[in-house]
Structure 1
Amino acid sequence: MASPTDPEFTPILLALPSLTPSLALEIIPRGLVLHRLFVQADGKTHDILIGPEDPTGHLTQKYTNTIIGRYANRLPVGSFSVSRNNIQSTVSPQANEKPTVSLHGGVKGFDQYLWEPLVDPSASELFTPAELATIETRIPSSIIFKRISEDGEEGFPGRLLIEVLIGLAQPEGAPRQTPEGKEWNLGSVVITYRAKLLDENKVTPINLTQHWGFNLDASLQEGPETLSVKDHKISIKADHTIELNAEALSTGTLLPVTGTHHAHAEKTSGRIAESFPESGYDEFYVFSPRAVPPPPTTLPASELKPELDLVGAALSRDSPASEEVVSLTSGKSGLRLGFATNQVGVQFYTNNFATPEKGARKKIHGGSGAVGDGYGPGTAAFLEFHAPLAAWLHPPESRGPTGDDTLLASGEVYNNFVRLDVWYKGSSSN
């Protein structure tokens, strides 16, 4: 068992530069875990991420706020030929969830590795000088992490360099007027994943995400109801979900959400509890076509020129290219999360498989911090932004508006961003 003082599990703290910062984030280098996300609102401190009290608890509480890779979600086990830009390779996903299913990268996914923080950001190979300048001025508390995934790791071809920017951006603008009243921006969490193959003549599937689970009420500690997210309201700008077979593998068929419990915009209350399925939510939603395409997910390495600034584009809340596609709101705490991304969709999961007896719950959420006093089903809204499951195995029409096959070839750069804006309206009843 790892020691609590093990540097792999010693949290790195990011906070907005203020005497009373509205946001603070603890990151654990092993697994690139977002351990705590503190929000200060109306004199109250909230930690809006579920998880264990002890950082080493992430060894057993799998996929709780960790990075996921080389490929998010479920892939069929087998050996498959992949081709891009006249380059061919073979990918062999490794079984871990079931003999026929590879989950979240395989037996030892990205969540189980130590990620190296770059002490000197200029040592980055995948962020341009223009982006580093933007990071310095607009994301004042941030860090870039790095690791190399070796050729053949978990059956994925090619030696892959990955760099991940995680940072906090300052609040911007005056309060916004909404039908329910004014809301104040408290700042943003910005994550940008970059990757490129270090080998020539290789191609690999790649689909990264953060497997983070939110509860906007748990820190209120006002009884069992604040441990549930069913009273949260959710909005997802999606026209389709992806059909899954009995093993939760994609069939490659898109299913319309209209007239189903997945049509959250059609619900009278907007509450997650309305039309809540018996087994909870664990579905991939494909976003509706956007008026302006977001920044690309894959680009030629030759386009990563010194003046290119995709980070700046991701930060702009006023740009149609980074519109809000998912919103999660609590009337109890008054907090709202708005998400923008260049990804095709989002996996929405309500912690259905959680077993309180096997996990631990943070003290700020009313737990003891000890194993046996964990979170149960329905206690979190996991929102994992990535491309459709096994996109490279299915035809373009099943991959959403962009037709992205999630393959990366030598000479290309993978670019994935998520921006989480934190808003506060003031508490009220749902």
Structure 2
Amino acid sequence: MKKFYQIVLLLVVITVVACTNNKQETNTELATLSGIKRSDFQSSLNGDSIDLFVLSNANGVEVSITNYGGRIVSVMVPDRDGNMKDVVLGYDNIDDYRATDNNFGATIGRYGNRIAHGKITVEGVEYQLPQNNFGHTLHGGPEGFDKKVFKANQIDNQTLELTYLSEDGEAGFPGNLSVKVTMILTNDNAIDIQYEAETDKETIVNLTNHSYFNLSGDANKTILNDVLTINADQFTPVDDTFMTTGEILTVEGTPMDFRNSNVIGERIDNYEYEQLKFGDGYDHNWVLNTGGDISQLAASVYSQETGILLEVYTTEPGLQVYTGNFLDGTNVGKYGAVYNKRNAICLETQKYPDSPNKSNWPSPYLKPGETYTSRCIYKFSVEN
């Protein structure tokens, strides 16, 4: 009889374990709040595993991230009526991310933005980097961090740690660069992105995030009716190849003045103003007034349609604002949305473009024994 009960107990344990395992397997297939499935991201590249990681807080806000390119895939936040909206552009599967040349939601490196003619000088040695944008190097070149697989460690429901070793000579950059990106979904509905990097040889580094925001929650719509504020008295003008000239100009009396909130579409097509003609709209770096103080507001975007407010805080001296001028309808993303011109805005915290070649600008150089740090906070709330 004792043996009979032992057998029954064993069968019960096996059944419970089996049910638990089945539940766990089912959970990997469950759609996120955004409707994205983890299984559609589970893949590999050069032997490195790709996956989808989901952060959520007590308010029901949810952020989905893939370690392919360290990309923010979806951000679900409430609008003024409490309806959850996905406010970033992207794809719902890994195949589309890999099949198209895009920066949607990506961690950008080694150097965000442009480097003139792809040339840098480090410790007296000139390095030629790949040229992928009007003869310049953009966002680390054609094989930047956006196409690399980061090692991922989900610390808890609200924290994801991504690491990557960029080897000496990768994309032409000197030094073995160890990178750590920590993404934290806070309880006040902010995505707190913290960057760290160390090198064994002097190099340059300028990391940023390239999320495309559309606060209407409908990426078929433009962002032209959104209200933009930028805490900057100055900006760095560009030439017709989008390269900074080396000047720093006042925003006073120009369409670049967003110190007082302005509707984005109000002046964006004023091509009599040469900078808007060169950029085909806004695609410029603003010199922030914040002095690297993370507590001071750098910029904000407000959707008049949904009441969703996005605030940006950073330790960086500059902010690239890009209004999706080169989206052309060839990318069809999540929910079947067609990504057309000016259907999103990017807010990239950064060193100024081409800083390695402009010695009077904030330095992007990193030496052995030093630690590069940078921080960007994207905070979401609702205003009625």
TM range (shorter): 0.7 to 0.9
1:416 equivalent among 354, 374, 379: 374
Partners in 1 of 2:231 and 2:56 — Cα distance?
Answer: 31
Q: Which residue does the alignment assign to 1:6?
A: 43
Q: Which residue does the alignment assign to 2:169?
A: 152
Aligned 8 A contact 1:215 1:381 in 2: yes
Q: Call closer, same or farther: CA 1:245–1:168 in 2, change over 3 Å.
A: same
Q: Which residue does the alignment assign to 1:312?
A: none
Q: Which residue does the alignment assign to 2:266?
A: 274
Partners in 2 of 1:37 and 1:55 — Cα distance?
Answer: 17
Partners in 2 of 1:79 and 1:352 — Cα distance?
Answer: 26
Q: Which residue does the alignment assign to 2:383?
A: 425
Amino acid of the structure 2 residue aligned with 1:55: I
Q: Call closer, same or farther: CA 1:61–1:43 in 2, change over 3 Å.
A: farther
Partners in 2 of 1:92 and 1:333 — Cα distance?
Answer: 46
Give the alignment of 1:16-415 within 5 angstroms.
Answer: 16=57, 18=58, 21-41=59-79, 42-59=81-98, 60-83=100-123, 89-98=125-134, 100-118=135-153, 141-171=158-188, 187-197=189-199, 199=200, 202-219=201-218, 227-266=221-260, 270-277=262-269, 278=271, 279-288=280-289, 290=291, 293-294=292-293, 321-356=294-329, 358-363=330-335, 368=336, 374-396=338-360, 399=361, 404-415=362-373
Structure 1 residues 196-233: Cα deviation after superposition (integer angstroms, max 9, x where no partner): 01x2xx211111100111111134x8xx6xx1111100
Shift of 1:40: 2.8
Shift of 1:242: 0.9
SS across alignment from 2:312: strand
Amino acid of the structure 2 residue aligned with 1:377: K
Which stretch of the first structure deviates more once superposed, 74-83 or 43-52?
74-83
Partners in 2 of 1:347 and 1:210 — Cα distance?
Answer: 11
Structure 1, unpaired ranges of 5+: 122-135, 172-186, 295-320
Shift of 1:330: 1.1
Structure 2, unpaired ranges of 5+: 1-38, 272-279
TM-score normalised by the chain length of structure 2:
0.81
Shift of 1:390: 1.3
Shift of 1:332: 1.2
Structure 1 residues 176-199: Cα deviation after superposition (integer angstroms, max 9, x where no partner): xxxxxxxxxxx11100010001x2
Q: Call closer, same or farther: CA 1:78–1:11 in 2, change over 3 Å.
A: closer
Partners in 2 of 1:46 and 1:3 — Cα distance?
Answer: 21
Structure 1 residues 41-90: Cα deviation after superposition (integer angstroms, max 9, x where no partner): 4331100001223333222151111111100111123543224xxxx554
Shift of 1:395: 3.2
Amino acid of the structure 1 residue aligned with 2:309: R
Partners in 2 of 1:247 and 1:164 — Cα distance?
Answer: 31
Partners in 2 of 1:117 and 1:254 — Cα distance?
Answer: 39
Q: Call closer, same or farther: CA 1:89–1:22 in 2, change over 3 Å.
A: farther
Partners in 1 of 2:119 and 2:357 — Cα distance?
Answer: 12
Amino acid of the structure 1 residue aligned with 2:307: G
Aligned 8 A contact 1:76 1:93 in 2: no
Aligned 8 A contact 2:290 2:296 in 1: no
Partners in 2 of 1:52 and 1:3 — Cα distance?
Answer: 10
Q: Sequence identity, in percent?
A: 26
Aligned 8 A contact 2:229 2:260 in 1: no
Q: Call closer, same or farther: CA 1:409–1:90 in 2, change over 3 Å.
A: farther
SS across alignment from 2:338: coil
Higher relative contact order (CA 8 A, sep 6+): 1
Partners in 2 of 1:273 and 1:143 — Cα distance?
Answer: 36
Shift of 1:118: 2.8
SS across alignment from 2:245: strand
Partners in 2 of 1:228 and 1:51 — Cα distance?
Answer: 15
Partners in 2 of 1:118 and 1:191 — Cα distance?
Answer: 15
Cα RMSD for the two superposed structures: 2.1
Partners in 1 of 2:102 and 2:142 — Cα distance?
Answer: 12
Amino acid of the structure 2 residue aligned with 1:274: E
Q: Call closer, same or farther: CA 1:410–1:376 in 2, change over 3 Å.
A: same
Q: Call closer, same or farther: CA 1:47–1:237 in 2, change over 3 Å.
A: same
Partners in 1 of 2:41 and 2:113 — Cα distance?
Answer: 30
Partners in 1 of 2:354 and 2:172 — Cα distance?
Answer: 15
TM-score normalised by the chain length of structure 1:
0.73
